[in-house]
Structure 1
Amino acid sequence: MRYLRFIYTIAMLAAAGEFAACNKLVEATPVGRVPVEIAYVDSVAAEANVNGMYYSLQQNGNIYNGGFYAILPLLSDEAAIGNSSTSFYLELANNRLLTNNAIASGLWTNNYKTIYQANSVLENVGKVPMSRERMNRYLGEAHFVRGYCYFILSQYFGKVPLSVSTDFKTNGSLSRSDTAVINDFIMDELTQAETLLPGGFAGYGNKKIRVCRETAQAMLARVCLFRKDWANAETWATKAINSPAAGFADTYEDVLKPNSPESLWEIWAASTSYAYRNSAASMLMPSSPASTFKPAVVPGAGLLNAFEAGDKRQTAYLAFSTSSQTSYVYKYRDLQNGMDQGKILRISETYLVRAEARAMQNNVTGSGSAAEDVDKIRARAGLAGTPATTREAMVDAVMQERFVELMFENHRWLDLKRTGRIRAVMALAKPTWKPETPILLPVPAAEIGANANLLPQNEGY
């Protein structure tokens, strides 16, 4: 039990500081097991394990290296099947998942393996001699990553087991905790992270692939929004927005490029190996300009119809293939090298979080209002200010901006679910949608087979 998964070779330990700078850490080959006393022998080794959390998130389950951005959107009205007969794609597109669906299973596995690595960091970093500043940063990163993973798990699966240690025996028999318990745990994790993390990305070579205080603030704003805690959602969003670390991209090229000025956290990608690439473009773009085949996943009719006339995002985030006569997603466009870095948190979302929180507090128009935040996003798109003047109309305006601005960044399904709009929207969007269609993913059958305490299965499976 004293051995850790995702621990790396001495070569990786020596390269620990290189993750943010030149990616050497994740280019080395992992070793199956290394004793704790070697894995955390010094501060360099400790940082290797911190980097291992991000490596785990990017690598495990084939989610954050492509599926998170390209396949999970099939659940909602923003995506549709293009040219794919893959069963687990079709299951998501029809909202009829089997309990062994590869994407659902991958999402579960990905996040729990990453949580395990975060638990390892939290258990062991305090034992390693290093400066208090450095230790706080590592602990803050681990608290953030663990909180983020539980947010994703609880949003997609509902009740989930709460693992806070590396004890395999304990973890292997956990029951699923109520969502209220998980939600409070997430808030506690992110609050600790915000206190411990340094401000800005200078300590990471100005790369956005590790988290800082502003990342935690933006995530706290998102979580408070989901909890309908409007006042604190506004407060946390304002802290992130007002920070010098939070830029706003002037062009959509700047929005999409790696280490975007407005990013608060991206998932690292590299071309050195197929394993390290972001495969989203290969699922969302034609294989060549001459290809007559549609991509595997294409924009849904709901998304295509959501753009207003003159919206610059219609050509910045989408493109059209004359060969296949198909619109396709153009947010992930590095088809050759796979170096698109998925945006997990960016300041445009944080403005829209604050806009919604302000609207729900009846701060709709005027200076420091919801309209001011919405209009900042619309102005970049070449659109006039929002005509919304009531709370209800402003919330609708925010949902519209979230749909088109955050398309294929894995927000739409959760937005529909949290606002109670999901059944009405999906009933119009998909003929396969039924009143009894589940809105949670199934707990993977293999996990229940290994631990019967995960029963009962989510309703509808």
Structure 2
Amino acid sequence: MLNKLKYILIVVILISITSCKEDFLERTPTDAISASDALANETNMQLVLNGVHRGLYSQSQTIFPGGDSQRAGNHYWVPLGDNLSGGLIHSAPANNLGWRTEMQWNSHTQPTSLTNELLWYHRYNIILHANLLINGILEGNLTETPTLNSILGQAYTYRAYAYLSLVQHYSRGYLIGSPSTDPGVPLLFSSESPFTSEPRSTVEEIYNQIGQDLDAAISAFEKGSTRPSGGPEVKSQLNIDVAYGLKARWALSKGDWQTAADAAVAARQNYPLMNESEWKAGFNSNDLSEVIWGSNVIQTETTFFRSYFYLASNTFNGSQIRNNPKIADRRLVDAIPDTDYRKDVFIIDAPNTNFSASNNEGGLDPDTGLPKDPNYASDLDAYNARRAEINAEYGITNSFNQHPYMHFKLKNKNPGSIDPDDVIYMRASEMYLIEAEARAMMNDIVGAQNALKPLGEERDSAYDVTVYNTQESLMDHIKFQRGVELWGEGFGYTDKIRWDEGIDHAADGGSGASAVLYQGAYQVEKPSLNDDWIFKIPQAEINANPNITPSDQN
């Protein structure tokens, strides 16, 4: 089975870097599945889906040919949302995989950047796989069965997921623009060569298609077989709950508040909120009770130094982390009540041990031999003792630097290693927060409070939702709760676009980020006033697609 998964390639989608380019490989790998064979029966269609599942987290070139080893799918794209929006803060100038370049907004703003090309390429490859399955099932002559409907539901869900990702990155935000006229992305339904290049559809057209696909997915899942029970691997399979969760995200991003609330409630029903021990376990496994969807990373197919935790977790044994421990915005952390156990994963008093720390307060003073960290300036023993205590608690060594406000929310199952861990995409907590925001935007104060109450009371022993009794106070609190609960899980970029909020690391006493390190990204105007929030269309796509010209560039 692993060999089949490793080489699951569909000949009709062996394209080079862009989705619309008509430059296809003329040969089929010896153990690839041809287009006709892929659609011959349910077993082969499931193999196609398994390839897409793995393609979500693999190094790009191993599943979707033409990629680049510098990106491993959602290992990169998930934390990128918090890296770009200033939530996942760099404490030093390490730049492996261009992670600092991303943070400084010097990558997605360039049409030739690897990030712009590969995100586009990755999502359109998902769409082409989905089209293959959808068209094959709808136009074929296979007998309808629950299994076939489940495959069809997953294909529609994948297509909706990919288009939502594309339109949210390469187009102006729905709520801050003019979706009926704003350019979106090319809308493609083809699954057979030769592909016809398409121009950019409008944002509204893309959103409409996403909605249609999600409704079709839900309808298919209702007639389909249920997702099997088992270990973390089963949650890599999409089901009706994933479709409802994506529908909640889609509706929230377009201001369809009632649909967002209803879909969020439907999505979370079978996923109880995590308790304290689960929440502090590291967010490294689909086994967590409230995980609705995530990639189960195959042990033998690890991405090593291309992984999510390499970029974001302070327990991963890689130079990006050892030399540049990631910290949280101290304004956010300081606002967390002491009665809220989520505060425990942010180590406010961690000593600054990094001689390369961008705040110039790291390591020891060469003249006095005392710590430069003002919290330990006259007490080397306390500095060393606290460092040793943190090392012991979180399974790291002195080869890992520490920094005030560093986090241990994301932790390897095997700390201090490079072992692979799962990548979580959707949790029940997000669905409570979506419902709360949607109801607050409808000015349903009691409804929003009731949506927040289960989550708040689980996390904070002194939680009292009744103090948030106006729309303004509720929205401020919901933003805070999203910031804490979903920190490091990649939602910062789309949240800021939806709320039309900029980035200001200097405000209210400062985030802890360095203006010298962050450069132009230290303060960024809100999305409605700054088109740099929109990813550039890849230059390779403009070069290849006769229906997209330089004048279409964002």
- Smaller-chain TM-score bracket: 0.7 to 0.9
Match of 1:180 among 173, 184, 204: 204
TM-superposed CA distance for 1:92, in Å, is 2.2
Instruction: Assess, with a 3 A threshold, how the Cα gap between structure 1 residues 221 and 110 changes in structure 2: closer, same or farther.
Output: same
SS of 1:208's equivalent in the other structure is helix
| Change over 3 Å in CA distance of 1:296–1:27 after alignment to 2 | farther
C-alpha offsets along residues 308-337 of structure 1, whole Å, 9 cap, x if unaligned? 434312334779573523214532424535
1:208 pairs with one of 226, 232, 235 = 235
Match of 1:88 in 2: 98
C-alpha contact (below 8 Å) 2:96/2:320 kept by paired residues: no
Alignment of 1:43-442 (within 5 A): 43-59=42-58, 60=60, 62-81=71-90, 82-86=92-96, 88-96=98-106, 97-126=109-138, 127=140, 129-158=142-171, 159-171=184-196, 173-198=197-222, 202-203=227-228, 205=230, 207-241=234-268, 243=269, 245-251=270-276, 252-253=279-280, 256=283, 257-275=285-303, 279-284=307-312, 285-286=314-315, 293-295=322-324, 297-301=326-330, 303-305=332-334, 307-316=336-345, 320=350, 322=387, 323=398, 324-326=401-403, 327-334=406-413, 336=417, 338-365=419-446, 369-382=447-460, 383-386=462-465, 387-421=467-501, 423=502, 425=504, 428=507, 430-431=521-522, 433=524, 436=530, 438-442=532-536
Does the residue aligned with 2:426 lie in a helix, a strand or coil?
Answer: strand
Q: What is the Cα deviation at residue 394 of structure 1?
A: 0.4
* C-alpha contact 1:271 1:339 (8 A) present in aligned 2: yes
Q: 1:176 to 1:290 in 2, by over 3 A?
A: closer
> Within 2, Cα distance between the matches of 1:55 and 1:160?
25
* Structure exhibiting the larger radius of gyration computed from Cα positions: 2
- What SS is found at the alignment partner of 1:264? strand
Letter paired with 2:481? E
Q: Which residue of 2 aligns with 1:8?
A: none
Residue 211 of structure 2 aligns to a residue in which SS?
helix
SS at match of 2:205: helix
Which range is displaced more, 136-145 or 34-43?
Answer: 34-43
- SS of corresponding position for 1:122: helix
Secondary structure of the residue aligned to 1:108 is helix
**Secondary structure at 1:152's aligned position in 2?**
helix
CA contact (8 A) 1:333 1:340 kept: yes
Query: Aligned letter for 1:314?
Result: K
Q: Which moved more, 1:151-160 or 1:194-203?
A: 194-203
Aligned-CA RMSD value: 3.1
| Distance (Å, rounded) in 2 between the aligned partners of 1:131 and 1:115 | 23
Q: Distance in 2 between matches of 1:166 and 1:113?
A: 11
Once the 2 structures are TM-superposed, how far is the Cα of residue 391 of structure 1 from its aligned partner?
0.8
Offset of residue 407 of structure 1: 1.2
Aligned residue pairs total 431
Cα distance in 2, alignment partners of residues 37 and 296 from structure 1 = 49
CA 1:415–1:112: 2 relative to 1, 3 Å: same
1:140–1:397 distance in 2 versus 1, CA, 3 Å: same
**Other-structure match for 1:451:** 545
User: Which residue identity does 1:258 align to in structure 2?
Assistant: N
Give how far 1:432 is off.
5.0
Q: Is the 8 A contact 2:133 2:152 kept in 1?
A: yes
Cα displacement (A) at 1:248:
2.2
**Offset of 1:290 from its aligned partner?**
12
- Asked if the contact 1:70/1:408 (under 8 Å) is kept, the reply is yes
State the TM-score, normalized to the length of structure 2.
0.70
For the residues of structure 1 that align with 2:500 and 2:410, how far apart are their CA atoms? 28
Which piece of structure 1 moves more, 260-269 or 297-306? 297-306
Change (3 A) 1:315 1:64: farther
Say which SS state the counterpart of residue 473 (structure 2) adopts. helix
**Paired residues of 1:234 and 1:354 also in contact (CA < 8 A):** yes
- The superposition leaves residues 280-320 of structure 1 with CA deviations (integer Å, 9 ceiling, x where unpaired) of 22222255599994337543455545534343123347795
Q: What's the % identity of the aligned pairs?
A: 20
Task: Pick closer, same or farther for the CA change 1:302–1:168 going to 2, 3 Å.
Answer: farther
Runs (5+) with no aligned partner, structure 1: 1-14, 16-22
State whether residues 63 and 107 of structure 1, in contact with CA within 8 Å, keep that contact through their aligned partners in structure 2: no
Given that residues 83 and 297 in structure 1 are in contact (C-alpha distance below 8 angstroms), is that contact kept between their aligned partners in structure 2?
A: no
Shift of residue 138, structure 1, vs aligned partner = 0.8
Q: Equivalents in 2 of 1:190, 1:399: separation in Å?
A: 26
What is the one-letter code of the residue matched to 2:409? Y
Measured at CA, do residues 99 and 89 of structure 1 come closer, stay the same or move farther in structure 2, by a change above 3 Å?
farther
1:56 to partner: Cα distance: 2.4
CA distance in 2: counterparts of 1:216 and 1:48, whole angstroms: 20
> Can you give the 5+ residue segments of structure 2 that lack an aligned partner in the other structure?
10-27, 61-66, 172-183, 352-386, 388-397, 512-520
Distance in 2, Cα, partners of 1:325 & 1:254: 20
Determine helix, strand or coil for the equivalent of 1:265.
strand
**Which has the larger displacement, 200-209 or 443-452?**
200-209
- CA displacement, residues 165-201 of structure 1 (integer Å, 9 cap, x when unaligned): 1244434x21111100000100110111111115896
Counterpart residue type for residue 85 of structure 1: N
Secondary structure of 2:89 counterpart: strand
What letter is aligned with 2:187?
L
Q: CA deviation at 1:24?
A: 6.6
Q: Secondary structure at the match of 1:170?
A: coil
Partner residue of 1:19?
none
1:147-167 Cα deviation digits (max 9, x unpaired): 011001100111111111124
Determine the structure 2 residue equivalent to 1:3.
none
